[in-house]
Structure 1
Amino acid sequence: MKRNLALDYTKLILSFLVVAIHNPVFWEHRFASNLIINGLARTAVPCFFILNGLYIVKVVEDKNNLKKYLKKLGVFYLVWMVIYAPFYLFSFRKNMTISILQNIESIFFGFWHLWYIVGLIGGVSLLYIFKKLQFKDKKLFLMSIILFLTGWIIQKIELFYPNLEGLIGSLIRSNAPSRNFIFMGFPFITFGYLLTKGNVLRKINNKPAAINLMIIGLILIFIETISNFYIIGRRGFDFYLGLLIFCPAIVIYLNNKYKVVNVKDDFISKLSASIYFIHPLILFWVHESFPDMGRTGQYVLIMFFSITLGTSLIQANKSLKIFF
């Protein structure tokens, strides 16, 4: 089996960052914690989408391949939504209307981290449609940027109405209107696709340019993170302008610098997926069992058990093929 190990280990690091978002580290150090969980860690999901986009050329150019791909993702989504059903179904709040809407949102947009699968399903499908309409690479690239910026604007509305109550306030604070396959999934999946198939992003293929773009992108992410911190506090956002620069640049750098090699299996890549999907179960248990441990200590426990159980899940998935 041929794999780019640099990309596989990058996926593993990205899964660690996702866990840090859901269980913030260094929580007692407000500013530093914010830079990690609402800055650096927010690069994880866009990078995941780009990495998925690298391998979907045959999917978006053949209807039968697309059907197989979507069927596989549909099974993954159904299985994990059933596993997590006790945590979102009938979890009612003070306002019944808001509670019902939140349940509907969970079912159709994905519970918590499972929105990523919906983002893949919708994003890949949208790219397939545009390819069928014979959209050129440059048009796909520009559309991706415009859609991402639209999502950024939608999410930033909260900066102006951080404490608005009622249904409107809940919608503003909800991720569903912005963090979805249209504004997040499609743009970054398309970036990954263009890295493999197109010639728009591959022009940035030399080491100095990629490194410089990574630095610029990360600086922009931190500037926006710090601004948000002083405006409304440690509220996490998914959209940062710097993501448009940093995420494609780091994938370009790793994909060009490190070539594919022969390996026995894709365990590292599977482990990153396993950690991503299973860690909330561990998180709920750790928070319930060790409430006084502190967030950083809880993070260490969550990672330990996620890696341990994730390895077992990989073994089970060899036969079942329903988890990832």
Structure 2
Amino acid sequence: MKNRSASLDLLKLVLALLVVALHIFPVSKMKGISGLISYEIASGITRIAVPTFFIISGYLLRNKLDDVSYLKKYCKRILLLYVVWQLLYLPDLLYHYHIKWFTTKTLIYKLVYGYWHLWYLLASVLGVVLLHFTRKWKLITKWAVILGLFAAGYLFQLSYKLHIFKELPFFVNIYEGLGTTRNAVFFAFPFLLLGSLYDYWKFSPKYFQWILGLSITALLLESYLYYTLKLGALDFFVSLLPISMLLLHWAVTAKLILKWTIPGTLSLGIYLCHPYMIRLVTEFLPQKTLGMIVCKYFIICLLSVVVWYFLEKINRKFPYFL
């Protein structure tokens, strides 16, 4: 395996493990220092994962945007995964609807946009379609689109959380109709586009560590601000743009020699199956102290790897799962 591929696979594995943490650490049910730590994890550092996944995909597709045949095959594969895993998670979705965890409106939303983590797959397809149709746009226009859409999503989300639209039902209905601004237009497409422009914004190695350190610090401070404002979970943070760019740059330029090869489907397998592992572990270990959640996190990660191992074997004969 080439060094670049090893770096990307390592980064994607770390990102998948961050997604697991995002889905298990609570944002509002703990108090004191435990509550702050949990919030900084679930609505702070783990929010790096999904934008970086998108930016990696954009980078890998940057030379394929004119190849309609390749893009069709790429999108069909993701759509197949989306349908298969929507069906696999349908029992869990219907069960939690039955016990009134969410409304009929939310059920319909989850059926259309994707249950739990599966929104990412559908958003990826729609984002890639937009990436193809905007491939001929001028560079300055692309930058304006990236910054404009990200800013719009960020401000729209923040305004909703701060109840600025309280007296403006039109905007409230739009936001709640979308379910979230973490979608194909405001989230997937800007980061995919950003990744496709990697050759135009490469960082100087001289300042890499400083910028990354400052960006992560900014993310934690921004998360702390939202914690004090009691805004709950947020998807948009200003510092996600530079952090995702820096992580991609590291993965592209790093010259890693790994002792073991990281399977290319491992990160995807963990991402797709970990919610069921969360359900399983939570059933037997319902405790919600910070220490117990950390313990459950490692158990869930381990079980997700085990399930991936068997899925990988099944997928060799029936290539519909990974």
Same fold (TM > 0.5) = yes
Partner residue, 1:4: 5
One-letter amino acid of the counterpart of residue 185, structure 1: A
Q: Distance in 1 between matches of 2:295 and 2:178?
A: 28
Partner residue, 2:47: 42
Describe how 1:262-301 pairs up with structure 2 within 5 A.
267=263, 269-292=264-287, 294-301=292-299
Partner residue, 2:234: 237
Quick check: 2:55–2:195 contact (8 Å CA) kept in 1?
yes
Distance 1:170 1:140, change over 3 A: closer
Distance 1:231 1:262, change over 3 A: closer
Q: How many angstroms does 1:263 deviate by?
A: 10
Quick check: 2:153–2:236 contact (8 Å CA) kept in 1?
yes
Q: Distance in 2 between matches of 1:114 and 1:139?
A: 30
Deviations 1:25-70 (A, max 9, x none): 8967111222222111100011111111121134421222221111
Describe how 1:176-215 pairs up with structure 2 within 5 A.
176-195=179-198, 199-202=199-202, 204=203, 206-215=204-213
Partner residue, 1:19: 20
Q: How many angstroms does 1:83 deviate by?
A: 0.3
Q: Distance in 2 between matches of 1:262 and 1:136?
A: 39
Matched, 1:248 2:249: no
Describe how 1:1-324 pairs up with structure 2 within 5 A.
1-2=1-2, 4-24=5-25, 29-89=34-94, 91=97, 99-131=103-135, 134-161=136-163, 176-195=179-198, 199-202=199-202, 204=203, 206-232=204-230, 235-258=232-255, 267=263, 269-292=264-287, 294-324=292-322
Distance 1:174 1:274, change over 3 A: farther
TM-score (norm 1): 0.86
Aligned residues, how many? 311
Q: Distance in 2 between matches of 1:170 and 1:316?
A: 43
Distance 1:125 1:172, change over 3 A: closer
One-letter amino acid of the counterpart of residue 200, structure 1: Y
Quick check: 1:38–1:236 contact (8 Å CA) kept in 2?
yes
One-letter amino acid of the counterpart of residue 152, structure 2: T
SS of residue paired to 2:110 = helix
Q: Distance in 2 between matches of 1:33 and 1:227?
A: 14
Quick check: 2:266–2:305 contact (8 Å CA) kept in 1?
yes
SS of residue paired to 1:208 = coil
Q: Distance in 2 between matches of 1:179 and 1:81?
A: 19
One-letter amino acid of the counterpart of residue 145, structure 1: L
Q: How many angstroms does 1:167 deviate by?
A: 12
Q: Distance in 2 between matches of 1:167 and 1:301?
A: 44
Distance 1:87 1:251, change over 3 A: same
TM-score (norm 2): 0.87
Q: How many angstroms does 1:136 deviate by?
A: 2.1
Q: Distance in 1 between matches of 2:217 and 2:259?
A: 36
Q: Distance in 1 between matches of 2:236 and 2:88?
A: 28
Deviations 1:94-115 (A, max 9, x none): 69xx723212211221111001
Q: Distance in 2 between matches of 1:71 and 1:263?
A: 34
Q: How many angstroms does 1:6 deviate by?
A: 1.9
Structure 1 window deviating more from structure 2 (269-278 vs 173-182): it is 173-182
Q: Distance in 1 between matches of 2:241 and 2:176?
A: 23
One-letter amino acid of the counterpart of residue 10, structure 2: Y
Deviations 1:189-229 (A, max 9, x none): 1111111xxx4212x2x212222221222122112101100
Q: Distance in 1 between matches of 2:262 and 2:302?
A: 20
Deviations 1:152-210 (A, max 9, x none): 11111243239x8x999797678733010111101111111111xxx4212x2x21222
Q: Distance in 1 between matches of 2:229 and 2:295?
A: 29
Q: Distance in 1 between matches of 2:234 and 2:208?
A: 25
Quick check: 1:59–1:66 contact (8 Å CA) kept in 2?
yes
Q: Distance in 2 between matches of 1:149 and 1:160?
A: 16
One-letter amino acid of the counterpart of residue 114, structure 2: G
Structure 1 window deviating more from structure 2 (140-149 vs 172-181): it is 172-181
Aligned-residue sequence identity (percent) comes to: 26
Distance 1:262 1:32, change over 3 A: closer
